[in-house]
């Protein structure tokens, strides 16, 4: 691949590189990012002989004449051609992948697969299917091609060529004529088939005149067409004047507008305000804009090489010109934006020198130093945020750098593995900008660290940038920012998708915790007896891992340390834990052979005996009612497996399970496959005898019903275990702790080996297609796919909102929430939703409103409850009947006189301490909820909270 130009790479350069060739200086740092990628620098002209060797050519900061010359050459030679440019607050992207570009896999994610419930005989035949629990939308779309497998009865469908479907509703498809087929009996999977797509592109010279511009919504088309003309006019201005328009120079902006009007290729009405605004800051160079445009361009390069995802067709324009409507930005003059000989001149050209000083004084918190956090910190360093007097940037992350981070977290190198992320990231951004004032913390921002990150900490911040990877952590951070009226920029990604949400106090709707798509939870009866998808079997394997190698070891260690811990458990839970402890103590292996024996017996229990028992209870011909087969619809009839030591999957399971069992019991493991096979061949297991009358739950509700605990059995088991403990404690060979709990780690190959083998064996039981190693790792590890192009784009979009927060913008129409999908180059920016309003006590309130009270009484001490009641009566005329803090009742008018007198006399925090709520006093602020006399039922959730600040 060839890249010409350098504006999208300048974060790699330092002050020591001044005066050097940009390509050569960038090459050295780029080579450090990945030693397996060959990076060379070319400082000569872009001749045809030089370009011939490349598969993809990307031009940045290139004159239009050069773009046209190289574009025509690449189109003729079948070289994929991309133009990426950012000027001030607008960006441009163009793709030409030739006249016959084949996209092998146009969609993201895996092809859809669903379990068949029924297929009718008819013309058309109707397929009724069951989707997975974690499916978010319609599984299939009109025109999708599908194939069938594992269908019993209507076997004519199995192995046929793909057929198109017509969607009737969420669970039914029409598939064509099935009237001559055999009647459907049971089972089967319907799977989506993705066929390659062919796309054709015009060369740049034709695409300029007749532009195909991709937009997120039709309303964006006129603005994009105006930017298309504006970029061409800018090239013409530069050719005419030999320079870009001077920042905020009305004469230059008007000349660009004249050139745009004169373009013959201009289609549709021209938005002259957009062209003027674009021209007035086109000399600017902003890191966030480069991040967004560069990320979009990089993803298009990946599409060209991999033939994965839909490429851009053919132009895309992106702008953040709404920043120029901010109060303060409108009045900027040429002098305000003139160069200062500063590293920030490109930013000063857009926002002025005074704004740059304000950026340097910012106090920000970045929570998370992973993929998004690295990109945010890099942008902040380039922007100069917190790089001046009074500035303060805090980054906190409790994690350490791992090898798997290096492909997308650009601040880390191989030498940083196992070092604290926040410390390494802070050092990296200091190298980028020595003036930045950054402090690294290694803490999780959560309830446990509230004494450290108190209310005053949040209230002094100018903003918080969230770069967290769990919804729970993001929701907690949102609640703290909401409480302290601190602006928050919440960023998230999932593969090629990303979003940035702005929460601005009093202007936007407070953020609400999102639900996790596919959080990995399924009904227990589905996992244990009736799996339908590989997700089910992988979750079952994860549960197996925890139940075999983590929980028993934890319980044994606790029991060996203090047997009395069992008394603290509920009766039903105690029996389960005792059984685990007994199994671990009685099954203690002496050597590797014992571990192999255990693994082989467990294999037999899971994949033969349990299935045989299930089929004994519900035979293949079993009917739920006359004529209605039990094994139909979302229940696939399983079959038991027969162990074969020469079967790779069977042996992989034994090796991984025995290794983990040995590790948990502190026995040296062995990886000798041949020796393990020899042990297995010598083993003879007794035949399995099914139990009669065994109850198997068919629903989640039945699963939750627990049998009564036999007290005599519990006591006898406890006595046996105590005796066994005494024997072990008295023995010289006993180790403390006795076992090693193993927590699943997605980056441990043995762990993933076990998960994959355990899942695929269970999938074979039920006729479910298996998953490969990487897929098993991704699903079982609950890995949300992260790619650096998405994280870079999201961070750039977040930093554009930082500009507005630094201005102190109070116009909600200037802020943007952003949603992007790089798999089809889609970017949508919308105004945030305004805060909800409601009426209470005769006036209208916003969801941001709160009654703020400094809870200091007349004696200078913390207020009593009575003083709080008096303040509400005096200030708002409200007679309070109940006062609460969380679940603690501070005052209740319905109590007897003695209780009310005691409640009114107590100071606020006394009640919290008496109620056993430790740590509440660590916060400077806390919410008090109240109920007033005469409230109706609708007022329960519609009253402004009372926020008390304690002395």
Residue partners of 79: CB distance under 8 A and separation at least 6: 51, 52, 54, 55, 56, 57, 73
In 820-862, where does DSSP find H-type helix? none
Q: What Rg do the C-alpha atoms of the chain give, in angstroms?
A: 33
For residue 22 the two structure tokens come to 């940009």
Between CA 430 and CA 382 the distance in angstroms is 10
CA dist 919 and 910 (Å) reads: 12
Give the list of residues 6+ apart from residue 552 with CB closer than 8 angstroms, or none. Answer: 580, 581, 583, 584, 664, 739
Tally of helices (H runs) and strands (E runs) in the chain: 31, 31
Cis peptide bond prior to 124, omega within 30° of 0: yes
Distance CA(557)–CA(643), nearest Å, equals 33
- Catalytically active residues are 525
Beta bridge partners of 862: 856
Q: In this structure, what token pair is assigned to residue 668? A: 């040296």
* Contact predicate 92/36, CB 8 Å: no
Contact 893, 843 (CB under 8 A): no
Bond from prior residue into 390 cis (ω within 30 degrees of 0): no
**What are 485's two structure tokens?**
């009226």
In the structure encoding, which two tokens stand for residue 675, read together? 């020796």
Tell me how far CA of residue 674 lies from CA of 76, 645, 751, in angstroms.
58, 10, 21
**Which has the closest alpha carbon to 420: 448, 439, 433, 436?**
439
Going 704 to 708 to 710 to 714, the CA torsion angle's sign is: positive
Residue 723 — φ and ψ, nearest 5°?
-65, -45
| Closest to 840 in 3D by CA, of 946, 698, 729 | 946
Within 791-850, strands assigned E span: 817-821, 826-830, 837-840, 843-846
- Is 263:314 a contact under the CB 8 Å cutoff? no
8-13: long-range contacts at Cβ-Cβ below 8 A with a sequence spacing of 24 or more?
8/60, 8/84, 8/86, 8/290, 8/293, 8/294, 8/297, 10/290, 10/382, 11/287, 11/378, 11/379, 11/381, 11/382, 11/432
Beta bridge partners of 851: 946
Q: Please state, in angstroms and rounded to a whole number, the distance separating the CA atoms of residues 141 and 168.
A: 10
C-alpha to C-alpha distance for 398 and 951, rounded to whole angstroms: 32
Report angle CA 187, 191, 194 to the nearest 5 degrees.
170
In the structure encoding, which two tokens stand for residue 895, read together? 């109590």
Neighbouring residues of 62: CB distance < 8 A, sequence distance ≥ 6: 4, 5, 70, 83, 85
CA-CA distance, 250 to 239, in Å (whole number)? 19
Contact 921, 950 (CB under 8 A): yes
Question: Which residue, among 758, 304, 787, has the nearest Cα to 544 in the 3D structure?
Answer: 758
Distance CA 176, CA 125 (A): 6
Mapped to the 3 state alphabet, what secondary structure does 749-768 carry? Answer: HHHHHHHHHHHHHHHHHCCC
Contact yes or no for 366/377 (Cβ under 8 A) = yes
Contact 232, 260 (CB under 8 A): yes
């Amino acid at each position: 691949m060839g890249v010409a130009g350098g504006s999208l790479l300048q974060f790699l350069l330092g002050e020591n590189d001044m005066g050097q060739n940009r390509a050569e200086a960038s090459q050295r740092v780029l080579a450090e990012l990945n030693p397996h990628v060959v990076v060379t620098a070319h400082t000569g002209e872009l001749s045809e002989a030089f370009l011939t060797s490349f598969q993809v050519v990307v031009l940045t900061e290139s004159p239009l004449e050069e773009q046209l010359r190289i574009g025509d050459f690449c189109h003729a030679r079948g070289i994929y051609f991309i133009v990426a440019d950012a000027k001030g607050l607008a960006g441009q992207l163009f793709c030409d992948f030739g006249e016959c570009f084949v996209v092998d896999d146009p969609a993201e994610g895996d092809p859809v697969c669903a379990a068949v419930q029924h297929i009718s005989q008819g013309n058309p035949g109707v397929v009724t299917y069951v989707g997975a629990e974690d499916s978010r939308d319609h599984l299939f779309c009109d025109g999708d091609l599908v194939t069938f497998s594992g269908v019993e009865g209507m076997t004519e469908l199995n192995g046929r060529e793909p057929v198109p479907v017509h969607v009737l509703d969420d669970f039914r498809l029409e598939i064509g004529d099935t009237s001559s087929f055999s009647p459907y009996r049971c089972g089967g999977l319907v799977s989506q088939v993705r066929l390659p797509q062919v796309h054709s592109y015009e060369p740049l010279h034709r695409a300029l005149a007749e532009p195909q511009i991709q937009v997120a919504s039709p309303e964006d088309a006129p603005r994009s067409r105006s930017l298309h003309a504006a970029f061409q006019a800018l090239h013409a201005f530069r050719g005419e004047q030999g320079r870009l328009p001077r920042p905020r120079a009305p004469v230059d902006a008007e000349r660009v507008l004249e050139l745009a009007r004169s373009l013959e290729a201009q289609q549709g009405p021209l938005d002259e305000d957009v062209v003027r605004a674009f021209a007035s800051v086109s000399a600017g160079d902003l890191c966030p804009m480069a991040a967004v445009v560069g990320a979009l361009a990089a993803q298009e390069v990946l599409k060209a090489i991999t033939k994965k995802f839909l490429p851009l067709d053919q132009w895309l324009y992106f702008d953040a010109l709404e920043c120029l409507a901010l109060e303060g930005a409108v009045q900027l003059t040429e002098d305000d934006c003139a160069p200062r000989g500063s590293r920030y001149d490109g930013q000063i050209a857009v926002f002025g020198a005074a704004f740059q000083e304000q950026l340097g004084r910012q106090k920000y918190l970045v929570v998370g130093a992973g993929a998004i956090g690295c990109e945010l910190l890099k942008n902040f360093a380039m922007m100069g945020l917190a790089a001046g007097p009074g500035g303060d940037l805090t980054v906190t992350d409790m994690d350490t750098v791992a090898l798997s981070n290096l492909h997308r977290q650009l601040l880390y190198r191989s030498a940083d593995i196992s070092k604290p992320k926040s410390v390494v990231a802070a050092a990296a951004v200091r190298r980028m900008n020595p003036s930045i004032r950054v402090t690294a913390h290694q803490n999780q921002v959560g309830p446990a660290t509230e004494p450290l990150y108190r209310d005053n900490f949040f209230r002094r911040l100018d903003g918080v940038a969230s770069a967290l990877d769990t919804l729970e952590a993001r929701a907690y951070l949102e609640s703290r920012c909401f409480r302290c009226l601190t602006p928050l920029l919440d960023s998230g990604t999932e593969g090629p998708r990303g979003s940035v949400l702005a929460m601005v106090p009093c202007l936007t709707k407070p953020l609400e915790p999102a639900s996790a798509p596919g959080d990995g939870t399924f009904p227990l009866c589905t996992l244990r007896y009736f799996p339908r998808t590989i997700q089910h079997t992988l979750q079952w394997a994860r549960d197996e891992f925890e139940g075999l190698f983590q929980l028993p070891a934890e319980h044994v260690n606790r029991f060996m340390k203090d047997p009395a811990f069992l008394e603290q458990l509920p009766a039903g839970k105690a029996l389960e834990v005792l059984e685990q402890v007994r199994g671990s103590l009685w099954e203690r292996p002496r050597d590797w052979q014992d571990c192999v024996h255990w693994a082989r017996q467990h294999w037999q229990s899971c994949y033969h005996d349990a299935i045989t028992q299930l089929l004994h209870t519900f035979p293949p011909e079993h009917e739920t009612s006359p004529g209605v087969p039990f094994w139909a619809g979302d229940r696939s009839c399983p079959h038991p497996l027969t162990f074969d030591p020469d079967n790779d999957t069977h042996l992989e399971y034994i090796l991984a399970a025995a290794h983990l069992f040995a590790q948990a019991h502190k026995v040296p493991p062995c990886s000798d496959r041949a020796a393990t096979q020899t042990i297995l061949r010598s083993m003879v297991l007794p035949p399995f005898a099914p139990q009669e009358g065994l109850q198997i739950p068919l629903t989640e509700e039945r699963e939750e019903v627990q049998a009564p605990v036999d007290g005599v059995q519990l006591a006898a088991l406890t006595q046996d275990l105590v005796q066994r403990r005494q024997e072990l404690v008295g023995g010289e060979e006993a180790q403390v702790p006795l076992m090693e709990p193993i927590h699943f780690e997605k980056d441990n190959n043995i762990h993933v080996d076990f998960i994959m083998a355990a899942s695929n064996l269970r999938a074979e039981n039920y006729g479910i297609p298996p998953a490969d190693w990487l897929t098993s790792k991704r699903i079982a590890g609950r890995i949300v796919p992260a790619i650096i192009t998405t994280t870079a784009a999201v961070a750039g979009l977040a930093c554009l909102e930082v500009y507005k927060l630094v201005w102190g913008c109070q116009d909600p129409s200037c802020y943007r929430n952003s949603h992007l999908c790089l798999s089809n180059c889609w970017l949508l920016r919308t105004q945030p939703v305004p805060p909800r309003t409601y009426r209470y006590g005769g006036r209208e309130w916003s969801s941001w409103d709160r009654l703020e009270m400094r809870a200091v009484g007349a004696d200078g001490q913390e207020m009593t409850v009575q003083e709080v009641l008096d303040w509400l009566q005096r200030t708002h005329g409200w007679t309070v009947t109940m006062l609460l803090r969380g679940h603690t009742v501070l005052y209740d008018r319905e109590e007897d006189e003695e209780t009310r007198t005691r409640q009114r006399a107590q100071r606020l925090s006394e009640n919290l301490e008496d109620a056993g709520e430790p740590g509440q006093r660590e916060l400077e602020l806390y919410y008090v909820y109240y109920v007033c006399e005469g409230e109706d039922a609708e007022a329960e959730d519609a009253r402004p909270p009372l926020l008390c600040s304690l002395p």
